Chain A
Amino acid sequence: MKTRSKKLVALFATVAMTASLLAGCGGGGSNTTEPSDTQATTDDAAATDDAAEATDDAAATDDAAEATDDTAAAGDTNSTPRNETLYFAGQQWGTINDWNPFSTNSNNAMCVQQKDSSRTLIYETMFMFNMLDGQLYPLLATEWAWDDDAMTSMTVKLNADAHWSDGTPLTANDVAYTWDANVKYESSLGMDFPNYVESITAVDDATVSIKCKLDDAGNPTNPLKVQQLLQQMYIMQKAYLEKVEERTGADKEAMKLDKMDDLVASGPYMPFFDDDQKVVFIRDENYWGQAASMWGKLPAPKYIAHVIYADNNAGQVALEAGDVDVCQQFTTDVQKLWEEKNLPITTYIDEPPYGQCATMPSCWMNVEKPGLDQVEVRKAIAMATDFDQIIASAMSNQSPTFAQVPRSTMNPTDGEQAMYDQAAVKDLQFVGKDIEGAKALLDEAGIVDSDGDGIREYNGTPLSFKAECPDGWTDWMASLEIVASSAKEIGIDIQTFFPDTNTFYDDITTGNFEICMNSPSGASITNPWGRCMQFLSSQYADLEVNWSGNWSQYRNDEADEILAKIPLETDEATLKEYYTRLNEIYLTDVPSFALMYRPELFYIVNESVWTGYPMKDDGTNIPPTDCTDGYGIAALYNLTLVE
């Protein structure tokens, strides 16, 4: 009898818990149905069940109403009509901290991103870079030209139609003032470019003159970087900058820390709403770009939204459900989304590597660490690494193999590949997974395992290194694991270490690492020169805090000499010679080696609401830069709703 009553109590308790659970779900779904009674009886539980179902139905109709009815959404500021909103994923991972292009720690990925191709949703640049053809396309400016053959100064014509979000015209004074402010307040751009740009001045309202910095011989230090500034620097309003200066007392640090949430900009979108759940931009109906001299119309989506997801998996679930339109996230076996799940999802290219690869995440070895200062050790690690496995499993085949595109300082685009002599460096290439070859190389160099623990020693210290990349960067983590397991086979101990992103960047910018994984720059107007700099230039090795490149801290006088000559050289044959020599040095000394090719920007799009995204060979010449960067933003003007 005793046990029976116990069982009854247990049953009762279970029912009570189930009922309260259901009631909880119902309550969460909507406010309209409150479970009338929380007393736990079986009948009641069933009733709540029904109620929960009813709530689900209500939610479904809500969705439908939201999609068709604008006014329904007006009551709730943070929901926008689905068919006017383009949802992104994979850019913004936390509550945004500012809207400030000067900031050195801005995490506002959708607004402030001045990289190889600047993101121009809110702030705009003078030109847009198109990675497909390597050309600059007009945005705020219509044309640029060198004033002379020596490339010492440049004249830029602004678009007369350009105006700010407050309606005032955008003039050459704004451009000049923006440059001065960048230099004065030492933004990262303002720290880098004064090495190449002497001054930017307004000739008249629509004409800007850029003077290059000259070296002792009277030559410009680097005309390529001057061109890069055109596509990289966000132009800001003089009046607004003066307003910010006033409230910050023109203090350097205060300027960088200002939130600038009252911004005035020239781009097609303005901030609309943001919190820890999502960021929403709203179209500026008064955007200057609808003038015939620019786009001739407004971008199709009225709202740009980016929900802040917890991790890649959450983003992928949302993409599959059609809650995300444009997703820039590494997705394992992405082809399964359409081949097996039959979802209306696609990528820029229908087959591997699915995107336009433009960069090559590399394994950088700190040549200042004992052991890694030996070229044999570096080369042996590279030779042993199983690159095919990295590309097939870590990268899920989303990269061309090194058999298809041999390793070099050039990215896998045809344009860059043609700029060096592949045949000349053929003998220097390593195929990977060459365990015997790597062993022989080390044995020959006298780096052997003398104490029998399976790990080779150099000068008495075992070759044991720590290889790091940020935690959560799945493909990179797996790549380093494969590097480590290959190295184990040749008697070099590599442990993987996955710190958080900030620690990682602290480590690599201060040289406090042994082996790390990082990407050089992708496609930009200065490349491949800029990327060769990142692989080989001692200029970066000398930096105390090095965000720029050459994290291996490799030094080679000959490479430095060639790198200094390239920006001034215009003869293609000579350039090819230079680049070939640089690649010989790169492949001989192996300060770093590429593990895979990657798109710098890419997208996986779900076409359940929007369609018309740029696809390879569709004749639009719009690069797949996530619909936001450089000339890739042109995609927003071609989008249409799915019928």
Chain B
Amino acid sequence: MKNTIRQVFHSPKFVIGFIIFAALLLTTIIYPIVVATDPLEMVGNGNFFKPGTYVSVKDAVEGSKYTLNVDVQSASLGSKISAEDKEAMKEWLVKFGGVAEADIDIEDAEGLIGLWEANYSENAEQKGLTSSKKKYYVRLNKNIDGILLNNDVIIAQENSETGELEQSASIGSQEFVNTKDVANRRTFILGTDNFGRDVLTELVHATKTSLRVGLIAGVIATLIGLFLGLISGYVGGVVDDLIMFITNMFTVIPSFVLLILISYSVGQNARGVNLVGIIIGITSWTWTTRSVRSQVISLRNRDHVNLSKLSGHSMMRIVLTDILPYLASYVVMAFILQISSGILAEAQLSMLGLGPSTSNAATLGLMMNWATLYAAPLNGSWWAYFPVVITIALIAFSLNLMNTGLDQVFNPQLRD
């Protein structure tokens, strides 16, 4: 046994797969201990907030300030008007503002803005300009309004008695805050999803859920498959025919269709994480049965099995001690593949809305489902779906890698 394990851990493929899998597993265990927030809490009031640290504006305004002598104007100029904007401004000024093209130097941002502020008018007749373009200029104008003035921003508060605004602070353009000083801040390493939930926290919990579903499904499918395969192969005869009849029937019906039908009829009320795992398990045992059976058939006439029979050992004992150990390596590999396919099946089910319900659990499939429904791939919110895809791929990849590694160790034909 010890030797086998040492052998297994000498296979580089297995080791890589194992490391990836263990890392994922550890993350799902450790992360919730460190970050205790509810993965289903809708924090963000909106769709798909960008990854980053969000600090309270009020705290920032009220907190201690540091004066830094950096050129703030050009940075904010650059963030507010791009090169395209400058081209567009020039175009407008020439077409509708009555400014000669030669008078405009696009490199001189301040000059351009000066010309713009002197000549642009929202209500000017802009013949031939589409509404979207007109609105673009209005937005641009709003954006650069007062950009050149280096005014302080005044913070005012309403006097509760008179109702008048009273200045309480003024913020100069060189004043900075240290984000560490801000008490209220929240970091979303992977942004938020369409419900405003923290994607990273959700992803970790979803991975945990998926691993649990996969494990339950894998255990159930392997147990059923192993049990039926052993009986069918060892006993043979009518029992074999009967079991193979059932197995063949299940093989012919596409298991995913079966899965959908069962999940649908169970209803969402009962469809918790465990039940989904069980449903997946009882629809995916067939090929384990078939391969276990064929292996048992080749084993049952071996000398040591016949010897046991002659010694009068019970069937139970023969199966457990003389046949099962020869299958063990195969069963372990089949089990790993069952976990992997169980996880994929859950993701597929949830994507169809037939998995656990959104308000009860986070699963990888549900995350994908909502990201697609809210068109995350179309509006550039990669953080809502790409990490999920990567996670699913990593789980399946690591399990399959472990499987291949084991195969190389146990399968004499593949041994170097």
Contact = CB atoms under 8 A, between A and B. Distances in A.
21 contacts: A316-B378, A320-B378, A333-B379, A346-B130, A346-B131, A346-B135, A350-B139, A388-B45, A389-B196, A392-B196, A393-B42, A393-B194, A466-B268, A466-B269, A474-B374, A477-B373, A481-B195, A484-B357, A496-B357, A611-B130, A618-B131
A393 B379 contact: no
Interface in B355-414: 357-359, 370, 372-380
Interface string A461-474: 00010100001001
B372 A313 contact: yes
B303 interface: no
B128 interface: yes
Contacts of B51: none
A342 interface: yes
Contact of A607 (B84, B131, B269, B353): B131
Nearest to B360: A488
A496 B359 contact: yes
B195 A482 contact: yes
Contacts of B374: 332, 474, 478
A592 to B, nearest CB: 21
B359 A332 contact: no
Contact of B353 (A396, A471, A494, A605): A471
Contacts of B359: 481, 484-485, 488, 494, 496
A105 B127 CA distance: 46
Nearest to B42: A389
B116 interface: no
Given A332-B379, A478-B195, A342 B84 contact: yes
B48 interface: yes
Contacts of B133: 344, 607
Contacts of A332: 47-48, 194, 374-376, 379
What are the 5 A-B residue pairs with the smallest beta carbon separation, nearest first? A346-B132, A485-B359, A607-B130, A611-B130, A392-B45
B379 to A, nearest CB: 5
Interface of B: 40, 42, 44-48, 84, 128, 130-133, 135-136, 138-139, 194-196, 267-269, 353, 357-359, 370, 372-380
A33 interface: no
B375 A313 contact: yes
A342 B88 CA distance: 12
A182 B132 CA distance: 44
Nearest to A320: B378
Nearest to B269: A495
B354 to A, nearest CB: 10
A595 to B, nearest CB: 15
A386 interface: yes
Given A316-B378, A485-B359, A642 B130 contact: yes
Interface string A154-194: 00000000000000000000000000000000000000000
A291 interface: no
Given A332-B47, A607-B131, 5 more contacts: A393-B42, A495-B267, A496-B359, A497-B268, A605-B131
Contacts of A344: 130, 132-133
Contacts of A320: 378
A442 B268 CA distance: 25
Interface of A: 312-313, 316-317, 320, 331-333, 336, 338-346, 350, 386, 388-389, 392-394, 396-397, 464, 466, 471, 474, 477-478, 481-482, 484-485, 488, 493-498, 605, 607, 611-613, 615, 618, 642-643
A430 to B, nearest CB: 19
Nearest to A473: B373
Given A333-B48, A336-B380, A485 B42 contact: yes
B353 A485 contact: no
A496 B133 CA distance: 42
Contacts of B357: 484, 495-496
B273 to A, nearest CB: 15
B94 to A, nearest CB: 15
A388 B45 CA distance: 7
Contacts, number: 114
Among A317, A471, A485, residue most surrounded by chain B Cβ atoms (within 10 Å): A485
A336 B195 contact: no
B38 to A, nearest CB: 10
Given A393-B196, A482-B195, A495-B357, A643 B268 contact: no
Contacts of A333: 47-48, 379
Nearest to B369: A477
B89 to A, nearest CB: 14
A432 to B, nearest CB: 12
B45 A389 contact: yes
A312 B376 CA distance: 12
A68 B69 CA distance: 58
Contacts of A350: 135, 138-139
Contacts of B380: 336, 340-341
B353 A481 contact: no
Contacts of A392: 45-47, 196
B379 A336 contact: yes
B42 A478 contact: no
A643 B128 contact: yes
A397 B46 CA distance: 7
Contacts of B46: 392-393, 396-397
Contacts of A389: 42, 45, 195-196
Contacts of A484: 357-359
A607 B131 CA distance: 8
A495 B46 CA distance: 23
B392 to A, nearest CB: 20
Nearest to A331: B375
Contacts of A497: 268
A607 B196 CA distance: 32
Contacts of B44: 393
Contacts of A612: 131
Contacts of B269: 464, 466, 493, 495
B278 to A, nearest CB: 19
A478 B194 contact: yes
A502 to B, nearest CB: 16
A509 to B, nearest CB: 22
Contacts of A605: 131-132
Contacts of B378: 313, 316-317, 320
A488 B357 CA distance: 12
A37 to B, nearest CB: 37
A350 B133 CA distance: 11
Contacts of A342: 84
Nearest to B88: A342
A625 B268 CA distance: 38
A297 to B, nearest CB: 20
Contact of A496 (B84, B268, B373): B268
Contacts of A643: 128
Among B40, B42, B84, B372, residue most surrounded by chain A Cβ atoms (within 10 Å): B42
Contacts of B196: 389, 392-393
A485 B366 CA distance: 15
B268 A345 contact: no
A341 B48 CA distance: 16
B375 A316 contact: yes
Given A345-B132, A393-B44, A643-B128, A312 B138 contact: no
A366 to B, nearest CB: 17
A618 B353 CA distance: 44
A497 B264 CA distance: 10
A338 B132 contact: yes
Nearest to A613: B131
A389 B269 CA distance: 24
A533 B377 CA distance: 42
Contacts of B373: 474, 477-478
A642 B95 CA distance: 16
A326 B224 CA distance: 56
A338 B134 CA distance: 12
A481 B133 CA distance: 38
A393 B47 contact: yes
Given A393-B44, A478-B195, A488-B359, A498 B131 contact: no
